[in-house]
Structure 1
Amino acid sequence: MEVFGTLGTLVLAAIVLFFFLLLFRKDSSRYSKMPPGPTPLPFVGNMLQLNPRVLHERIMKLQETYGPVMTVYLSWKPVVFLLGFQAVQEALVEQADVFAGRHVSQLIMKLTGDYGLVQSTGERWKQLRRFSITTLRDYGMGKRTIEEWIQEEARHLTEEFRKTKGAPCDPNIFLSQAVSNVICSIVFGQRFDYQDEDFAKLLCLIDANMRLISSPVAMLYSVFPILMKLFPGYLNKMIRNVNEMKQFTLSMIEKHKATLVSDSPRDFIDSFLIKMKEESDNPSTEFNFENLHISVLNLFTAGTETTSTTMRYGLLIFIKYPHIQENIQKEIDTVIGRDRAPAMQDRRKMPYTDAVVHEIQRFIDLIPLNVLHKTTKDTTLRGYFIPAGTIIAPMLHSVLYDKTKWATPHSFNPNHFLDENGCFKMNPAFMPFSTGKRLCVGEGLAKMELFLFFTTLLQNFSFRSTEDPANITLLPDSTSFFRRPQPYTFMAMPR
């Protein structure tokens, strides 16, 4: 019996090894040419060598051994990581179409599916992206109308801070409301009062879900989908939150359908509904209700959370380094003065302010791993073979902190964007919005918001810490997917 037990164990081990080799190598001649990387273990891949809380740091450490293009197995899935400006540029720009696919994890599939602007790929993504870029431009992205909306919202935000009368306050909810209202103006055709309870609840749902999605548990869900069945608590919370957000966006879409005037679109939803009517007889159209619903959700959530978090991080940097906000205020007083609102035309005359805004985006490293890509066909990169359908991680952290492109990558340094004459200069490694075909659709809008909100706030207030600035930490509250500053309070002192 003991012999049979030992034999059974050996047979089981052989079967496991067989399937492991089958799973990881399939066609050895095909996969042996893939980029190098650490040897994976059965089922878990290289996960034991990684840490979901600081995954990007572990990947950077592996780069020292395997180079800037390497294969790491997250469970049984090979993921090709691209590290450093040059490798990311070669893939996403020089082979833009090949690396423009989108990997959608089973976690995201359960939450929103592969519909909408962010998660889609192939023809669906091409149609939705083309439409979204055109529509946002039509509604003034980069033009006067959007600028006026932001200026108006900046005035509302200023009033909210003024109501604090210099008492300590948490800027989180104010910033989320202001940024979200800009998106609401574009997508829904209206803004919401800061005291609107439904609006406040919606922003809390977005905040809660970003915390859940940025958690190590969510990353483990994506790597080991079986965990969603074994430990569904986090998943159920995310689904409940997403469903509540969907109810809000659904109600807005239904209101638009009831009041739609086909030759007079008011906003993004109207334009999409009109496009749906125009393409109703086209069997290959992607302009359907599900893509509308998820695209609206994408624009609303991503547009709210990314820019508001960047602003929250920026204000934290200002109170830690008071001399930086003082230098910006000197430039504001010289170029704009106190009697009119800042405008985008002022930016070219304010190189220091422009440099600080860019350095905030570089330094905070908002999405260090980037959103995962996927190859659309077989290709080679730096002599390595990468099959079609391979998951690609063009790591933004490695570009924004590339030692060959930034003088002091780990320090906050506005001089990264200033030349020897104090004039603004762009650095090609500035990629907080990614690059290539999957460049963030809202890049222009976000840049406009950051400049106008920051300059309006610093025109009206000096921000002071409630503690010794030396004790303020800029380390993020979460680091796996989406980096957020640790909670803080400050005092908005009228100038």
Structure 2
Amino acid sequence: MALLLLGILLLLGLWGLLQTCTRTPSSASRWPPGPRPLPLIGNLHLLRVSQQDQSLMELSEQYGPVFTVHLGRQKTVVLAGYEAVREALVGTGPELADRPPIAIFQLIQGGGGIFFSSGARWRAARQFTIRTLHGLGVGRGPMADNVLQELRCLMGQLDCYRGQPFPLALLGWAPSNITFTLLFGRRFDYQDPVFVSLLSLIDEVMVLLGTPSLQLFNIYPWLGALFQLHRPVLRKIEEVRAILRTLLKARRPSMPGGGPVQSYMDALIQQGQGKDPQGLFAEANMVACTLDMVMAGTETTSATLQWAALLMGKHPSVQCRVQEELDRVLGPGRAPQLEDQRSLPYTNAVLHEVQRFITLLPHVPRCMAADTQLGGYLLPKVGTPLLDPDRGQGPPSLLPSALGQGGPRWESPGGTLSLRAHPQGRGCQAHLLHCPQGTPVIPLLSSVLLDKTQWETPRQFNPGHFLDAEGRFVKRAAFLPFSAGIHCPHRWGQHGAPHPHIAWSPETSEAQAQACWASHCP
């Protein structure tokens, strides 16, 4: 095995060197500037594993707001700064609406779901999700009632600690339960085994997705077949799927045709009872869509509220001003409502500044659906294929015939490479995915949220970024914490976005936030 791996690496290195040396100037002239790639690894040596977005921002200072990096063999265009990112995400429209086929997410979702699908299936899933969320009251009164119920439950839990340090994870229970109520039509007790298991598994999955081994797997998927780098996260994902399938099965008897829709799952089940030519409402894709909603709707809101608590503890003057505004506007005993948002400009500014400061999503990758003009460069739709099976070009050791019929196979329709785990867990197989790969594009959202031309003190926590001279809340065009354009989930009605009626209330004591900070921060 060691000799085989050494041979594969040697052949790949020689092939990469040959490709680099024979690249014609005419083909390179269409691309933005960037650092010269090394054989096999490209520019990976320039990226710090734990701070990739910061490394890319530093490269943008040398090569400009639109530049090229090579992630292994894959040419990738990086966009840095507000102007470049906005031009791409808002100005291009459908040309930049697709998602690149990231190896681990292709394994997890198989091209299904909401956030990592493309083309007609993505458009259908997007339209269905927007319509369903709106029908369930997201962003309106019905959803606010659920939020207030969870707020009361959360306050009850906080009161039990009597101002003493409490687990930071507790702040994630309420927003997660709001998401689960929306998805499953019921709230969970905080000690419910299903609730506890789901939150624990989601946390483990998010940690695994950020490990260097998974990042390496996404760049070199063939390593997964040799070293099984992807297996731990797939095992955890399958445990999440098993819970979702059980919840889906439990909802089916309560959803006769035409019955009232009380949850996202109800809507999926009801739509699945009709014609479904695209297979959007087959059980596998129902679970995939729900999995996307679970992962996106719990982690982002939980992390934001936890950061908010920590930042309030670190900046007590900001916390006191928020508390004073809430006391003055709401008075004693009154629960906050959606309409109070206009009367709480400072609190609103603080919540927006939390999201800007923490840069929760440093970047959200896209890929070209058509040749696109960006920053004065004509970027081609077709990316860099690992293997063209029609022409038989590529390292001999990676051709399907060289690896045998029973082992892993690498197939590349237009550049896509994907591995699919064996259903019984014995090894890994590659399957042809009909998902044409365009040129990957990385819009650096962190570079927008830290753009010196857009923010007065980008590296500081400063709620004044969202206030005018009179103390009124102002929207900032460069506030893009969740991307922008038609593929941005924030446009779909982000039900869990931090808002005064869930982040803070008059009953939230300064001592509790201070205790949270003291117990979890050095």
Paired residues of 1:70 and 1:80 also in contact (CA < 8 A): yes
Q: Counterpart in 2 of 1:479?
A: none
The equivalences for 1:210-225 within 5 A come to 210-225=206-221
Q: Deviations over 1:268-317 (max 9, x none)?
A: 1111122222224xx34533222211110111121001000000001000
Aligned mates of 2:99, 2:367 — CA distance in 1: 5
Cα separation, 2, equivalents of 1:466 and 1:178: 19
> Residue in 2 aligned with 1:371?
364
Does the aligned pair in 2 maintain the 1:170–1:489 contact within 8 Å? no
Matched, 1:180 2:176: yes
Gaps in structure 1 of 5+ consecutive residues:
1-9, 473-486, 491-495
Question: Where does residue 167 of structure 2 map in the other structure?
Answer: 170
Q: In structure 2, what is the Cα distance between the partners aligned to 1:14 and 1:293?
A: 43
Task: Report the equivalent of 1:483.
Answer: none
CA deviation after TM superposition for structure 1 residue 442, in Å = 6.9
Q: Distance in 2 between matches of 1:359 and 1:385?
A: 36
Equivalent of 1:344, from 332, 338, 344? 338
CA distance 1:84–1:12, change in 2 (3 Å): closer
Q: Which amino acid aligns with 1:321?
A: H
How far has the Cα of 1:28 moved from its partner? 5.1
Distance 1:306 1:409, change over 3 A: same
Q: CA, structure 1 residues 436+270, in 2 after alignment: closer, same or farther (shift >3 Å)?
A: same
Verify the 8 A CA contact 2:172 2:305 in the aligned structure 1: no
Q: Distance in 2 between matches of 1:15 and 1:347?
A: 59
**Counterpart contact for 1:352–1:424, Cα < 8 Å:** yes
- For residues 14-37 of structure 1, the C-alpha deviation after alignment (integer angstroms, 9 at most, x for no partner) is 765324456xx4x75344211111
Counterparts in 2 of 1:92-171, with a 5 A limit? Answer: 92-171=89-168
- 1:296 and 2:290 are equivalent in the alignment: yes
**Match of 1:385, SS?**
strand
Aligned counterpart, 1:412 = 461
Amino acid in structure 2 at the alignment position of 1:262: G
Contact 1:107-1:222 within 8 A present in 2 as well = yes
Give distance in 1, aligned partners of 2:196 and 2:53: 33
Question: Aligned partner of 1:53: which letter?
Answer: S
Q: Counterpart of 1:60?
A: 57
In 1, the alpha carbon distance for the partners of 2:468 and 2:58 equals: 32
Task: Report the alpha carbon displacement of residue 449 of structure 1 after superposing the two structures with TM.
Answer: 4.2
C-alpha distance in 1, partners of 2:236/2:144? 32
Do the aligned partners of 1:72 and 1:78 also contact (CA within 8 Å) in 2? yes
Shift of 1:464: 4.4
Any idea what SS the aligned residue of 1:437 has?
coil
**Helix, strand or coil at the partner of 1:217:** helix
Checking the alignment, whether the CA contact within 8 Å between 2:361 and 2:482 is kept in structure 1 is no
- What secondary structure is seen at the aligned counterpart in 2 of 1:253? helix
Matched residue, 1:17: 17
Cα pair distance change 1:406/1:443, threshold 3 Å: farther
**Aligned AA (1:430):** F
Q: Partner amino acid for 1:109?
A: Q
Q: 1:40 to 1:338 in 2, by over 3 A?
A: same
Q: What do residues 156-185 of structure 1 show as CA deviations (whole Å, max 9, x unaligned)? A: 01101111122221121x222211111111
The aligned counterpart of 1:253 is 248
Please give the alpha-carbon distance, in whole angstroms, between the structure 2 residues aligned to 1:357 and 1:402: 19
User: How many angstroms does 1:261 deviate by?
Assistant: 2.1
Structure 2 SS opposite 1:240: helix
Note closer, same or farther for the CA distance 1:141–1:347 as it changes in structure 2 (3 Å cut).
Answer: same
Change (3 A) 1:257 1:65: same
1:461 aligned residue (487, 506, 509): 509
Task: Say if 1:443 and 1:308 are closer, same or farther in 2 by CA, change over 3 A.
Answer: farther
Partner SS for 1:101: coil
SS in 2 for 1:119: coil
CA distance in 2, matches of 1:218, 1:327: 43
Distance 2:315 2:20 in 1: 53
For 2:501, give the aligned amino acid. Answer: L
Q: Is contact 2:17-2:40 (8 Å) kept? A: no
Q: Is the 8 A contact 1:407 1:416 kept in 2?
A: yes
What is the aligned partner in structure 1 of residue 87 from structure 2?
Answer: 90
SS in structure 2 at match of 1:70: strand
Matches of 2:207 and 2:492, distance apart in 1? 23
Asked if residue 401 in structure 1 is aligned to residue 450 in structure 2, the reply is yes
Could you state the TM-score of these two structures normalised by the residue count of structure 1? 0.87
- The alpha carbon displacement at 1:417 in A equals 0.1
Aligned 8 A contact 1:433 1:443 in 2: no
Deviation of 1:440 after TM superposition, in Å, equals 1.3
The answer to whether the 8 Å contact 2:304/2:498 transfers is no
Q: Is the 8 A contact 1:307 1:446 kept in 2?
A: no
Matched with 2:261 is 265
- Deviation string 1:69-95 (CA, Å, 9 cap, x unpaired) is 011000000111110110011111110
CA distance in 2, matches of 1:144, 1:271: 20
Distance in structure 1 (CA, Å) of the matches to 2:353 and 2:208: 27
2:95–2:368 contact (8 Å) kept in structure 1:
yes
Matches of 1:327 and 1:204, distance apart in 2: 35
Counterparts of 2:102 and 2:129, CA distance in 1 = 24
Residues 328 and 447 of structure 1, relative CA distance in 2, 3 Å threshold: farther
Aligned to 1:434: 483
Q: How does 1:278-293 map to 2 (within 5 A)?
A: 278-280=274-276, 283-284=277-278, 286-293=280-287
> CA–CA distance in 2 between the matches of 1:93 and 1:310?
25
Structure 1 residues 360 and 97: CA distance shift in structure 2, 3 A: same
1:357 maps to a residue whose letter is L
Over the aligned positions, Cα root-mean-square deviation in angstroms equals 2.2
The corresponding residue for 1:382 is: 375
- The more displaced of 270-279 and 296-305 is 270-279
Q: Between Structure 1 and Structure 2, how many residues are aligned?
A: 455
Identify which of 228, 235, 239 aligns with 1:240. 235
Q: Secondary structure at the match of 1:78?
A: strand
In structure 2, the CA distance between the partners of 1:46 and 1:156, relative to structure 1 (3 Å rule), is: same
Kindly indicate whether residue 200 of structure 2 is the aligned counterpart of residue 204 of structure 1.
Answer: yes
Separation of aligned partners in 2, 1:295 and 1:17? 41
